[in-house]
Amino acid sequence: MLEQLKELAQVAEAEIKAVGTLDELNDLRVKYLGKKGPIQEVMKNMKSLTPEARKHAGQISNEVKRTLSDAITVQKEALELAEITKQLAEETIDVTLPGKKTMRGRLHPLNAIVADIEAFFIGLGYHIAEGAEVESDRYNFELLNLPQDHPARDMQDSFYIDVHHLLRTHTSPIQVRTLEKACGQGPVKILCPGKVYRRDDDDATHSHQFMQIEGLVVDTHITMADLKGTLEALVKHLFGPEREIRMRPSFFPFTEPSVEVDVSCFACGGDGCSVCKQTGWIEILGAGMVHPNVLKMSGFDPEMYQGFAFGMGVERITMLKYGVEDIRHFYTNDLRFLEQFK
């Protein structure tokens, strides 16, 4: 039996030295040194031997065990070393190769303008307010002094979701929602950027989806002069310190009086050119003093509080600032266009 064990040890040692992977080596360890292996078998049969023979058999089997586990340890180290060496050779980096150029992303021009205008108004103490793009008819129209069948509803042809809900046609519903939350207590000073939707045919200056930024201030002692000063500062910030503004009478159901605001043409300085259609002025936004009905419906006392509001199209401002001739460039994701805005 002991002879058999010694022979087996020789075979096992040879197998261990020849093995090529760590998994196979582990299989051999289990096969020879495991509970069901030949050495354990010899140990089990020792009970029947004389004490002398048992001692001898014990020594031999321990020797075989040690030899095999030493052989396994040596082979394991050799295999691990070979694996690491192979891996290092495979992962060698050629530091002389030219590096891969990483493309840097940048803000979309519309988002960059929104961020710029937000930063400007935050500096003046405004809060940013947002609202849902699916709005109820009540907030989009009624509470803005546009009851059912009001002819001015045609000014903003709408996408209705059901009888009472639509994709908001302007950012003005955020005004009403914010005023309602203020529970008749001023001051309120907010800037509301967001996407809006209208059933306009897409062309070079119109899109069925576009962005607006709305501003609202409600407090005591607010006048048109505050509105004019604020918009003048905005225009100088956006288009340069030499720019002037002018206000022309207009109509919005939610402001009274209402105005359209023009900026002096930055292409010709006011002399008249193709950008300003020879007028020297470019229209940039609508504004006015918050209509007393809107204040009343939102829980504010119009005897005590006044306010001004303004709303501008982000695409229009961006087109004017950068001389973009077609609004559709903003939505087609053409990198040749987008990469020009650093």
Q: Can you give the binding site for ligand FA5, defined by CB under 6 A?
A: 156, 170, 172, 198, 200, 206-207, 210, 212, 214, 252, 255, 285-288, 309-313, 315-316
Answer positive or negative: Cα dihedral of 81, 87, 90, 96. Answer: negative
Query: Shortest approach of ligand FA5 to residue 203 CB, angstroms?
Result: 9
**Neighbour tally for 155: CB within 10 Å:** 14
Q: What is the CA radius of gyration of the chain?
A: 41
Work out the number of other CB atoms within 10 angstroms of the CB of residue 92.
Answer: 7
Residue nearest to ligand FA5 (CB): 313
C-alpha span between 148 and 92 (Å, rounded) = 74
Give one DSSP letter per residue of 83-97, joined into a string.
HHHHHHHHT---TTS
State the minimum distance, in angstroms, from the CB of residue 181 to ligand FA5: 18
Q: How far is CA 245 from the centre of its chain?
A: 35
Under 8 Å between Cβ of 67 and 13: yes
Nearer to ligand FA5, 8 or 213 (CB): 213
* Bridge partners, 166 (sequence order): 135, 160
Return the number of the residue (25 or 231) whose C-beta is nearest ligand FA5.
Answer: 231
Least separation in angstroms between residue 93's CB and ligand FA5 is: 52
Residue 290: DSSP 8-state: E
Of 41 and 200, which CB lies nearer to ligand FA5 in the complex structure? 200
The smaller minimum CB distance to ligand FA5, of residues 39 and 285, is found at: 285
Query: Rounded to the nearest whole angstrom, what is the least distance from the CB of residue 170 to ligand FA5 in the complex?
Result: 4
Considering only CA atoms, which of 210, 214, 285, 216 is closest in space to residue 245? 285
Nearer to ligand FA5, 30 or 124 (CB): 124
- Residue of 212, 186, 207 lying closest to 287 (CA atoms): 212
Minimum Å gap between C-beta 90 and ligand FA5 is: 56
Q: How far is the CB of 212 from ligand FA5 (least distance, A)?
A: 5
Q: Which is nearer to ligand FA5, 89 or 225 (CB)?
A: 225
